């Protein structure tokens, strides 16, 4: 009988791409990939996949989920700061702590082998390290709109440790920087203010051949992770013969802000009207970090595939396809 993998949060932007990747990655004779999300949608069923509309903060709703041969759950479902239009910390507690507990109970009752959980990089945001190790202890600000989010995520990690010690549920935790995946909905809500994401602002300027500014000296750098590299790491964790662990999602390759903007211009600007790049050393651009992925390579066999150029070329393709447009309606 096939092993079942349930993707909680499959209607979200990252979750929908993860679901797609998983259906193509796993042998269909060995695994069945099942989608779950809060939305009422026929997006998955009309494509031949099982879908369960479940609010994980309500324990009784999980009763409709499969109970036999569930091997792994991928838990992405939660409220996140960037999509919270009006700050309400109770939404973090309900979706992450209560919802996480309900999913853990589901795993316990149905003898699930492993849970794959996404953690935020904001739990180590106060470190000044340029390379972030996966085993860093929490170090974050208790102020601001991300504080209760991080506290809720860390509480879930503590509950997962209990379920591992008490019931043997294998824990795979993945710390995420920004995961790049195209969405036709270009807005987010930093501190509750509706704002077009910077990458979409730059792409729009490049498409029009308008000038794009580079703040600082252009050396600010960070990991740029394509959603399919993220998905690869999680899928390989399902197959890994290890007891679990904490892993970073990353590429191991720093991309400078100047390189990022040059690539956007190369991919999106018309050939006869390339956007000029304007250096602005008077504007501050500090920070930046790289995710250490050595244990993911060693334990899981993870090998990132997408360069910065590959990432934006895929962005362009997805902009044309609008693959998940009906799931992105707000």
Q: What is the mean pLDDT of the chain?
A: 95
What is the reported pLDDT for 51? 98
Cα–Cα distance between 242 and 295 in angstroms, integer?
A: 12
| Residue whose token pair is 């693959």 | 323
What does the pLDDT read at residue 190? 83
Encode 136-156: b = buried (16+ Cβ within 10 Å), e = exposed. Answer: eeeebeeeeebbbbbbbbbbb
Q: Where residue 145 falls among pLDDT bands split at 50, 70, 90?
A: confident
Domain boundaries, the chain: 3-182+223-252+288-307+322-327
Query: What per-residue confidence (pLDDT) applies to 254?
Result: 93
Residue with tokens 């507990």: 101
Q: What band does 129 get if pLDDT is binned at 50, 70 and 90?
A: confident
| Per-residue model confidence (pLDDT) at position 100 | 98
Q: Catalogue the long-range contacts made by 155-160 (C-beta closer than 8 Å, 24 or more residues apart).
A: 155/96, 155/97, 155/100, 156/96, 156/97, 156/100, 156/117, 157/117, 157/119, 159/97, 159/100, 159/101, 159/104, 160/100, 160/104, 160/115, 160/117
pLDDT tens sequence across 24-59: 999 999 999 999 999 999 999 999 999 999 999 999
pLDDT 10s digits, 162-173: 999 999 999 999
Determine the average pLDDT of the residues in 62-75: 98
Q: What sign does the CA torsion over 113, 91, 78, 40 have?
A: positive
Dihedral sign (CA 197, 202, 203, 205): positive
What is the H or E stretch that residue 165 is in?
helix 147-167
CB atoms within 10 A of CB 5: 24
Higher pLDDT, 329 or 49: 49
> What is the Cα–Cα distance from 297 to 135, expressed in whole angstroms?
15
Q: Once rounded to an integer, what is the mean pLDDT over residues 98-113?
A: 98
Mean pLDDT of 133-161: 96
Picking from 107, 105, 99, the residue whose alpha carbon sits closest to that of residue 72 is 107
**287 or 64, higher pLDDT:** 64
pTM score, two decimals?
Answer: 0.96
Q: Whole-angstrom Cα distance, residue 8 to residue 39?
A: 12
Q: Is the pLDDT score of 147 beyond 80?
A: yes
**pLDDT of res. 111:** 98
- The residue-averaged pLDDT of 285-292 equals 86
Write the CB contacts of 84 (distance below 8 Å, at least 6 apart in sequence): 91, 145, 189, 192
Q: Is the pLDDT of residue 87 over 60?
A: yes
In sequence order, what DSSP letters do the residues of 66-104 get, joined into one string?
A: --SSEEEEEE-----GGG-SS--HHHHIIIIIIHHHHHH
**What topology is assigned to 3-182+223-252+288-307+322-327 in CATH?**
Rossmann fold (3.40.50)
Mean per-residue pLDDT, 8-21: 97
Query: Which among 298, 299, 292, 293 is positioned nearest to 244, based on CA atoms?
Result: 299
d(CA 290, CA 130) in angstroms, rounded, equals 6
pLDDT value of position 329: 62
- Mean pLDDT over residues 211-215, rounded? 95
Identify the pLDDT of residue 193.
87
């Amino acid at each position: 009988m096939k092993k079942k993998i349930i993707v909680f949060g499959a209607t979200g932007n990252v979750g929908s791409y993860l679901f797609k990747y998983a259906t193509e990655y796993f042998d269909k004779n060995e695994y069945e990939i099942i989608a779950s999300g809060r939305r009422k949608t026929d997006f998955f069923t009309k494509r031949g996949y099982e879908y369960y509309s479940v609010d994980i903060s309500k324990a009784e709703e999980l009763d409709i989920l499969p109970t036999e041969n569930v091997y792994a759950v991928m838990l992405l479902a939660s409220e996140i700061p960037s999509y919270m239009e009006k700050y309400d910390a109770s939404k973090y507690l309900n979706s992450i702590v209560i919802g996480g507990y309900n999913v853990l109970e589901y795993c316990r009752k149905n003898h699930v082998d492993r849970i794959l959980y996404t953690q935020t990089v904001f739990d180590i945001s106060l470190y000044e390290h340029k390379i972030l190790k996966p085993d860093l202890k929490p170090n974050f600000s208790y102020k601001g709109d991300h504080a209760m989010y991080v506290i809720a995520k860390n509480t879930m990690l503590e509950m997962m440790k209990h379920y591992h010690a008490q019931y043997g549920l294998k824990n795979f935790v993945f710390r995420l920087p920004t995961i790049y995946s195209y969405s036709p909905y270009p807005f987010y809500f930093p501190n509750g203010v509706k704002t077009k994401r910077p990458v979409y602002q730059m792409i729009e300027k490049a498409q029009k051949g308008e000038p794009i500014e580079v703040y600082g000296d252009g050396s600010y750098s960070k990991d740029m992770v394509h959603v399919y590299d993220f998905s690869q790491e999680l899928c390989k964790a399902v197959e890994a013969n290890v007891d679990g662990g904490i892993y970073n999602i990353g590429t191991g390759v720093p991309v400078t802000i100047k390189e990022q903007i040059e690539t956007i211009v190369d991919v999106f600007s018309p050939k006869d009207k390339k956007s000029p790049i304007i250096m602005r050393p008077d504007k501050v651009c500090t920070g930046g970090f790289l995710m250490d992925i050595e244990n993911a390579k060693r334990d899981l066999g993870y090998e990132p595939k997408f360069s910065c150029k590959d990432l934006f070329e895929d962005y362009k393709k997805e902009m044309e396809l609008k693959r998940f447009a009906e799931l992105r309606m707000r």
